[in-house]
Structure 1
């Protein structure tokens, strides 16, 4: 199935890219979530306008991403969570929790761009990666502390 992406999709492409995917992936995931539109000759003309808009935003976004990266990497982000006596958490820290903590300290970050290697299930210092831009990735030091 040939599609034109309207949003960035991890490991697939950026807005305006024409991609070839399996029918089920396109029909069941990309199209219902409005991440892509079906390719046609008429829709192919929209690709140029989507890519022009993406290029104009990319320069502005790159500067903002570098500034935010400096903010995120300069200090640690504290994340208070409920924990038991042994320092073990009730559940795991989610990317939504991390995004909320980062937003409180440095600024808004999309939770879909946060990458956690292993699930965080204990108190202490952890590191997570945040893809701010295609060329900029910040490594955030995360201090998971017990809430009062």
Structure 2
């Protein structure tokens, strides 16, 4: 029996695929549950048109992601923060902060979940960050965190004055 999958079915296939299954499996399980329909010429043609349209949308999205990756690649974002001893920040720079700054620089909305940051940045200095735009498109950018006083705000040891 030839069926056309309407939804993804584990161990069988993805939505839009044409499959050959046993009659009982198709009639008693797949079709009544709404996972598949009987494969007629009309159904097959509609599925092919949907798949072609989906491929076009995916290709356009991939081109947009590649163009955005070219803009992001090599970009440097500067952050100022209060820095304590040993260049540790009093707060942290999170993926939300990076996404906000990236949105300002690129003049478009940017989702914080696309920024691969295992844990917030808690030290001053330069950090390489990967941005996940699409499968296989992952540009890197540089995040530079420095103290509010300047690039290095590590306190100098105080001079001691001997009492006379």
With structure 1 as the length reference, what TM-score do the two structures score?
0.59
| 1:128 counterpart residue number | 129
Preserved CA contact (<8 Å) 1:117 1:128: no
State the Cα distance separating 1:92 from its structure 2 match.
2.4
Distance 1:103 1:17, change over 3 A: farther
Distance 1:85 1:65, change over 3 A: same
Distance 1:52 1:89, change over 3 A: farther
| 1:145 counterpart residue number | 146
Compare the two structures and name the one with the higher strand fraction.
Answer: 1
Structure 2's unaligned 5+ residue stretches are: 1-5, 11-32, 38-42, 150-164
Distance 1:59 1:121, change over 3 A: same
Q: Which has the larger radius of gyration?
A: 2
Runs of 4+ in 1 over 4 A off after TM superposition: 42-45, 48-54
Distance 1:42 1:108, change over 3 A: same
State the Cα distance separating 1:91 from its structure 2 match.
2.8
State the Cα distance separating 1:57 from its structure 2 match.
2.7
| 1:94 counterpart residue number | 94
Separation of aligned partners in 2, 1:111 and 1:125: 20
Preserved CA contact (<8 Å) 1:79 1:101: no
Q: Deviations over 1:38-86 (max 9, x none)?
A: xx516999xx698666533321111111111111113312223333364
Structure 1's unaligned 5+ residue stretches are: 1-15, 21-39
1:9-28 alignment runs, 5 A limit = 18=8
Q: Secondary structure at the match of 1:74?
A: coil
